[in-house]
Amino acid sequence: MAKSSKSVTLSTVAVMSVAFAAGCGGNTVTADCVVRQPDGRLAAVHESNCQAGGGGGGGKRRYEWVYGGKLSGGYVTGGSFVQPGDATVKTRSGRVISRGGFGGSGKSGGS
């Protein structure tokens, strides 16, 4: 009987470990590359604008990532400019730009 108990215990521990590891960083957040319009709205632009480092000062446009926003009619509302550290961040095209949870860098390409 002792052997059976060890087998069940080890199996339970293994299953729980896999479930725990799968749950870490299991959240996925969508990122949109945006540029602020003169009226304050955030217009969605192609993600390559943010990947290239975005804009700067002066007359250049400043491209930024918005995390977890809602895309409607070419504009993004809601969301945050702060990248979540506990989630996998993907663009709408499906490209992963950051992985959260264990081993996540917390960094993103872009501005």
Q: What is the pLDDT along the chain (111 residues), one digit of tens a residue?
A: 555 555 444 343 333 333 333 445 479 999 999 999 999 999 999 999 998 555 544 456 799 999 999 999 999 999 999 999 899 999 999 999 888 754 444 444 444
Look at residue 7 and tell me if it is in a domain: no
Residue 102 forms part of a structural domain: yes
Residue 19 falls within a domain, yes or no?
no
pLDDT value at residue 9? 43
110 found inside a domain: yes
Residue 18 lies in a domain: no
Q: Do the domain assignments include residue 47?
A: yes
Domain that holds residue 106: 25-111
Residue 95 is assigned to a structural domain of this protein: yes
Nearest CA to 78 out of 91, 66, 67, 69 is that of 69
How many domains does the chain divide into? 1
